[in-house]
């Protein structure tokens, strides 16, 4: 029997979850993985760029992808840094805890 994946969030649902999670970040931890923070220092993006990009109006860069190993959706978000540079941010979402984790980020071409 083939496993059925949970439905991915719509843009509106994801924006609401991310907005709520960002408002709670001060109480918790940095939402970026070790890879996102230190794996590509040469990309010149800081946590402030990522949070700014997730707080402003953004769109999906490509359709979400389901990660069976972690049993969660990854969302590819096209947005802008603090300096208005185009960036892409990939987040993994925990819908039960209403949290997200930035998997990686890069400057868009």
**Residue range 63-102, pLDDT digits in tens:** 999 999 989 999 999 999 999 999 999 999 888 888 888 8
CA atoms within 13 A on the CB side of 33: 15
pTM above threshold 0.85: no
Phi (first) and psi of residue 103, to 5 degrees = -80, -45
């Amino acid at each position: 029997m083939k496993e059925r994946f949970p439905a991915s969030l719509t843009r509106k649902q994801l924006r609401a979850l991310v907005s709520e999670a960002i408002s709670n970040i001060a109480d918790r931890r940095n939402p970026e993985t070790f890879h996102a923070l230190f794996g590509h220092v040469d990309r010149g993006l800081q946590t402030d760029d990522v949070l700014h990009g997730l707080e402003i109006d953004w769109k999906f860069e490509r359709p979400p992808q389901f990660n069976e190993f972690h049993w969660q959706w990854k969302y590819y978000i096209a947005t802008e840094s603090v300096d208005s540079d185009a960036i892409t941010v990939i987040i993994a979402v925990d819908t039960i805890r209403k949290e997200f984790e930035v998997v990686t980020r890069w400057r868009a071409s």
